[in-house]
Amino acid sequence: MNEMKKNWTPEERKKGMDDWMAWAEQHKQDLVELGTPVGKNKRVTKESVLDERNEVGGYSIAQAESHEAAAKIFDDCPHFKMPGAYIEVMECMEMQ
């Protein structure tokens, strides 16, 4: 997906951002934080700090009554216009 985005024209980038912002406006009551794209990552262990690669391209924070309801928020996300795109919905556990 990142390779595909590297080849986007300025018009395609603008269309993608416009679609994303329209989706975000439609779901503003569900989004605690719109989020941002993410860059390179490092894996830190007790022994080392290493360059790593994963498939995380960005994040958003949503609120919902259940994990299933949170996943449903993303049903109409414009990211699905990109071939092979997927969204993982992870629950943030409450600290006690």
Which residue is associated with the tokens 């414009």? Answer: 78
Q: What is the pLDDT of residue 5?
A: 65
Kindly report, residue by residue over 11-62, the tens digit of the pLDDT: 988 999 999 999 999 999 999 999 998 999 999 999 999 999 988 989 999 9
Return the domain boundaries, the chain: 2-81
Which distant-in-sequence residues (6+ apart) come within 8 Å of 9 by Cβ? none
Q: Above 80 in pLDDT, residue 6?
A: no
Phi first, then psi: give them for residue 89, nearest 5 degrees: -110, 115
Provide the token pair at 20. Answer: 């994303």
pLDDT at position 33 is 95
pLDDT at 2: 56
pLDDT at residue 45, rounded to an integer? 97
Domain 2-81 has CATH 1.20.1740: no
Q: What's the pLDDT score for residue 77?
A: 95
For 36, phi then psi, to 5°, come to -165, 160
Q: How many CB atoms lie within 10 A of CB 41?
A: 12
